[in-house]
Amino acid sequence: MAYSASVPWRAGGARISPLQGGSARQARHRELKLKLAILEKRYGDLHTALFEAAQVHRQLCAPRLVRCGGFEIASEIFAVRYLPGDFFTTEETDGGLILALGDVCGKGLAAGMWTPCLVGLVRAHAAATSEPHAILAGVNREFCRMHAPLTSLFMARLDPASGAVDYCSAGHPPALLLRADGRIELLSQGGMLLGMAGEASFGTGRVELGSDDVLLAYSDGVIESRDSSDQEFGGERLEALLRGIGSGSSTAVLFSILAALQDFAAPNPLTDDTSLVVVRRDTVGS
């Protein structure tokens, strides 16, 4: 049956003219446009808030390049969801320079909201003692009382005068020490993840960085990155890469590793927060 523009038609039992139907559609269209505008504004506000939170996280962390005596320290953190659960901080104490690289289990806001707490705890305990194992034990006790998420943490104290590095790892991937002659040492002394047991104890290891030695600390997002065939980057590949790069400036080593990691994973996106810290000692310039 054909309808004429001049003949009223029924909808739900009511007689509605084509003119009235057009007005109703226009009103509905305006209503949808208004709702869309509200949603777009809320999305924009949320995006702005997340960006501001990421800037706060950046300010809580150490500068991307830190120099202390003969030590040069370069770092970078990439978030997979706006706000990273990884963090890196440095603190100068009477006993030396404290550095801490941490990784809160999880991703996004849930993990990222714990990083200011962790940074604050590390700094508070570093003000009381410069011993890495004691700092970790104190942070761990408070973290357990808070029922905070499990967290891995690599901590070290650098002595600019002697080049000595006292370190402690709480469930963190072993840091790599590349000697100037090409040898690689794994820094694995420490203990369990933070947040597992309130009375956990942590062992301390000691190494000494000579001229042009390079120390690399990283989060598991580096070695767990996958390529297009679902193969992990892995620790052995990272060791070979570091050895192949050799001893350049800390910034040059950092960017070389990041470039190799991106080439390996492309075109896959990041699946976990990724952080790198490169420490180099130059006794000539100290």
Q: What is the pLDDT of residues 124-155, one digit of tens each?
A: 999 999 999 999 999 999 999 999 999 999 99
What's the pLDDT score for residue 15? 58
With 60 as the cut, is the pLDDT of residue 111 above it? yes
Region 179-190: mean pLDDT is 94
pLDDT bin (cut points 50, 70, 90) of residue 88 is very high
Residue 81 has pLDDT above 90, yes or no: no
The better pLDDT of the pair 144, 45 is held by 144
- Predicted confidence (pLDDT) at residue 105 exceeds the cutoff of 80: yes
What per-residue confidence (pLDDT) applies to 8? 46
> Tokens representing 229?
């065939």
pLDDT at 284: 60
In this model, does residue 118 exceed pLDDT 90?
yes
Q: What is the pLDDT of residue 244?
A: 92
pLDDT of residue 266: 87
pLDDT value of residue 213: 92
Q: What is the pTM of this model?
A: 0.83
Task: Please report the pLDDT score of residue 19 as a whole number.
Answer: 56
Is pLDDT at 7 greater than 60 in this prediction?
A: no
Rounded CA separation 105/43 (Å)? 27
C-alpha span between 200 and 190 (Å, rounded)? 10
Sign of the Cα pseudo-torsion (37, 38, 43, 45, in order): positive
Selected residue with higher pLDDT from 90 and 18: 90
- How many CA within 13 A on the CB side of residue 194? 33
3-state SS track over the chain: CCCCCCCCEEECCEEECHHHHHHHHHHHHHHHHHHHHHHHHHHHHHHHHHHHHHHHHHHHCCCCEEEECCEEEEEEEECCCCCCCEEEEEEEECCEEEEEEEEECCCHHHHHCCHHHHHHHHHHHHHHCCCHHHHHHHHHHHHHHCCCCCEEEEEEEECCCCCEEEEEEECCCCEEEECCCCCEEEECCEECCECCCCCCCCCCEEEECCCCCEEEEECHHHHCCECCCCCECCHHHHHHHHHHHCCCCHHHHHHHHHHHHHHHHCCCCCCCCEEEEEEEECCCCC
Task: For the domain made up of 63-281, give the CATH fold.
Answer: Phosphatase 2c; domain 1 (3.60.40)
Question: Which range among 14-23, 212-221, 257-266 shows the weakest confidence by mean pLDDT?
Answer: 14-23
